[in-house]
Amino acid sequence: MKQITLNDGNQIPAVGFGVFMIPNDGSTYRAVREALQAGYRHIDTAAAYFNEAEVGRAVRGSGIPRSEIFVTSKLWIQDYGYEAAKQGLETSLNNLGFDYLDLYLLHQPYGDVSGAWKALEEAKKAGKVKSIGVDNMTPNFWNTFIPQFSILPAVNMVECNPFCQQKELRKLMDQHGVKLEAYYPLGHGNPELLGNPIITALAEKYQKNPGQIILRFELQEDLIVLPKSTNPERIAGNLDLFDFALAEDEMQRLRGLDTGKGAHDPEAPGTAEWLLENFKVHD
30 lines the binding site for ligand A2P (CB under 6 A): no
Looking at the Cβ atoms of 30 and 234, the one nearer to ligand A2P is 234
H-only helix segments in the chain: 27-38, 52-60, 82-96, 113-125, 139-145, 167-174, 191-194, 197-206, 210-220, 232-237, 248-255, 271-278
Nearer to ligand A2P by Cβ, of 153 and 187: the residue is 187
Of 16, 162, 227, 266, which lies in the binding site for ligand A2P, with binding defined by CB under 6 A?
227
Asked if 16 touches ligand A2P (CB under 6 A), the answer is no
- Structural contact between residues 206 and 233, judged by C-beta atoms closer than 8 angstroms: no
Question: Near ligand A2P by CB under 6 A, which window of 102-110, 121-129, 184-192, 271-279?
Answer: 184-192
Whose CA is closest to 241, among 6, 15, 37? 15
Q: Which of 38, 53, 152, 194 binds ligand A2P (CB under 6 A)?
A: 194
Considering beta carbons, is residue 98 or 217 the nearer one to ligand A2P? Answer: 217
**148: number of Cβ within 10 Å:** 10
**Three-class DSSP category at 129:** strand
Q: Which residue has the closest beta carbon to ligand A2P? A: 211
Listing DSSP states for 5-22 in one string gives E-TTS-EEESB-EE-TT-
Instruction: Candidates 42-50, 72-80, 183-191, 271-279: pick the segment binding ligand A2P (CB under 6 A).
Output: 183-191
Q: Which of 228, 246, 254, 266 forms a contact with ligand A2P (CB under 6 A)? A: 228
Distance from C-alpha of 134 to C-alpha of 107, rounded to nearest angstrom: 7
Span near ligand A2P by CB under 6 A; candidates 135-143, 173-181, 232-240, 274-282 = 232-240
- Is residue 238 part of the contact set for ligand A2P (CB under 6 A)? yes
Give the C-alpha separation, 126 to 269, whole Å.
Answer: 37
Is residue 231 within the footprint of ligand A2P (CB under 6 A)? yes
Q: Does 108 bind ligand A2P (CB under 6 A)?
A: no
- Our answer to whether residue 184 is catalytic in this structure is no
Residue 162 is a binding residue for ligand A2P (CB under 6 A): no
Phi-psi region of 113 (alpha: psi -120 to 50; beta: other; left: phi over 0): alpha
Given the rule CB under 6 A, which of 78-86, 149-157, 230-238, 268-276 is the region that contacts ligand A2P?
A: 230-238
- Residue 4 touching ligand A2P (CB under 6 A): no
In the list 234, 271, 276, 279, the residue contacting ligand A2P (rule: CB under 6 A) is 234
Q: Which of 23, 189, 195, 260 binds ligand A2P (CB under 6 A)?
A: 189
Q: Residues 121, 146: contact at Cβ < 8 Å?
A: no
CB 154 within 8 A of CB 178: yes
* DSSP state letters, 203-253: HHHHT--HHHHHHHHHHHTT-EE------HHHHHHTT--SS----HHHHHH
**What residues act catalytically?**
49
| Chain contacts with ligand A2P (rule: CB under 6 A) | 184-189, 194, 209-212, 227-231, 234, 237-238
